[in-house]
Structures are given as structure tokens and as C-alpha cells.
Amino acid sequence: MEHSTIRQSLYSEVTSRIIAELEQGRLPWVQPWDTSLCGCTMPHNAATDRRYSGINVLILWAEVVCKGYGSQRWLTYRQAQAAGGNVRKGEKGTTVCYADRFTPKAEAEQARGDDREARTVAFLKRFTVFNIDQCEGLPEDMTAAPVATDPVLAITSADTIINNSGATFNIGGDAAFYSPTHDFVQVPPQAAYHEPINWYRTALHELGHWTGHASRLDRDQTGSFGTAPYAREELVAEMAAAFTCASLGIAPTVRHSDYIASWLSVLRDDEKAIFRAASAASKAANYLLAFTEDAA
């Protein structure tokens, strides 16, 4: 009962925060990095170098912008101590979560008796992390200023994704879209964009949809415009593009807010919706980023 209460309160707490942002016209997954001291990149653990994913990306990005931190690197209290430093006195940590599934002992025994596969139960665990700006005494390799991504290399990586994906990628017309029925992406030419960097954001958004095809990550893409399933898929593609751009070091300047009303409706109806969408977006972004590794 206690775990269920913790789980529910965390879902509602995070969802309420994101709803509040959307109501103000801000998109939590496309942060105004120019108002922050740090570059557009994915948050990661300073001790393990592992990138955070899913809902934790939104939580940590929001905290960086809100507090003006100069880094996207985070540590637990124990990790800071193990590294030879410590969290400064009075600093307040940021709550992130870990979602997984486990098989209760009683269910495992029952399944053996019934000769069937055991059912798993989802759980959500909270833990607290601190930005390295909140710590002191950390080794230099953890605190050194990150090397900024070369803009040319970032664009090259995005081009590599487009080329290596094997997607049918058409350039032309005056609209950007993905057709699930015919499995192709279409985007206007770069010349149609005031800033070329935003063409890549659009291209990666449409490729985010492309990952959801039944032959790939198999998401529900049957929703028609104005429906909740359509809004959920748009939410996934929006965040997939944001996560992919940040991973490559691309900082778009546009803030697409066409679907805010429908996203608000989806989030108000289901406090787990943003968790599911962020998780699906991480999978989509990872699917696309894998094509940069195929360049060789």
C-alpha cells in the first residue's frame, strides 16, 4: 500500500508540474537553453557517464533551467562521497525515478504450480540526485567544462541518421509529415526554413514518427487528427526529436506549440501518459541514434 501511494504521488507530482508548464505555453522537452549557462545536451550521471532517459530527462532539464546550473551532470549523495567530494550543506536534491518490473515470490510459486509464466508487477522507485554545481571537492574530470559539440559535426551526425536509417525520405512540398500507411517521410527543402538548424529538428521529428511503424517500434499510429491517440503519438515524436537533437548537440530555435491543448487533455486524463510518452521517446531517440554508429 505504501509503495502504491509513493508511486501514485510521484506520477501526479510530475504530471502536475508538466501541465503547469504547458499551461504557461512552455514545452518542457524543448528547453530555452540560451537562458541557461549550460549547453544543449542530455543529462547524465557524472560517476557512470550513463545518460538519463524517459521522464528523468524532462525532470533534470527543467531543474537545470530553473536553477541556472552550468552542467547536465548529476550524482547521488553517495556517488559524490565515493568520488572524494561531497554535496554542499543545505543543498536540496532533485527527485528522479527508476521504473522496472519484478515477480513477487508468491506469484512465482503459483506460476510454477500452474505451469505458466509468472506475471510481473511494475514498480517505481524514487531516488535523489544533485547537480555537480551543488557539490564540492569533486575530481577535475567530473567538473571540467564540457567540450562543446562542433556544429558541423552535429549536422553531419544528423545527416548520417537520415542516410543510414533507410527511411524513404522525400524533400519537397510545403508540409512536413510522416505517412504510416505508405511508410515515408516528407519535409520541405531547407531553403523554406528561416534557420537551417530547424530543418533538422523537423526532419528528426518526422523520423521519430517513422520509428513507430509496425516493423520497427510498433506504436499505435492509427489515431486521426484531433484524437487522443494522435496527440499521444505527436508527444512521442516531439520528445524523440528533442532527445535526439540534444544527444547530437543541436539546439533548435523553434518551439512548436500547435498541439498544447490536445497534450493537456491527454495529461489531465491520465497521470501516467507523460511517463509512457517519455519512455517511448527515449526508445525512439535511441533507435535513431544507433544509425550514427553504423556510419563506418
Show the cell assigned to 285: 531517440
Average pLDDT, stretch 142-152?
83
The DSSP bridge partners found for residue 127 are 96
Handedness of CA 294, 178, 199, 145 (dihedral sign): negative
Q: Longest Cα pair distance anywhere in the chain, in angstroms?
A: 66
pLDDT value for 296: 43
| Distances, alpha carbon 195 to alpha carbons 27, 57, 73, 199, 208, in Å | 20, 26, 29, 8, 21
Percentage above 70 pLDDT, the chain: 92
3-state secondary structure of 122: strand
Instruction: List, for residues 151-203, the tens digit of each pLDDT value.
Output: 888 899 999 999 999 999 999 999 999 999 999 999 999 999 888 889 999 99
Single out the residue of 34, 142, 23 nearest to residue 84, CA to CA.
142
Cell 553517495, residue? 78
Instruction: Report which DSSP code applies to 70.
Output: S
Side chain identity at residue 135, one-letter code: C
CB-based contacts of 166, cutoff 8 Å, min separation 6: none
CB-based contacts of 156, cutoff 8 Å, min separation 6: none
**Residues 218, 124, 71: CA angle, nearest 5 degrees:** 85
pLDDT value for 271: 92
CB neighbours (10 Å) of residue 241? 29
Instruction: List, for residues 256-291, the tens digit of each pLDDT value.
Output: 667 888 999 999 999 999 999 999 999 999 999 999
What Rg do the C-alpha atoms of the chain give, in angstroms?
20
> Do 86 and 137 contact (CB within 8 A), yes or no?
yes
Handedness of CA 251, 211, 163, 72 (dihedral sign): positive
- Res. 93 pLDDT band, cuts 50 70 90: very high
Using CA atoms, how far apart are residues 73 and 171, in angstroms rounded to an integer?
37
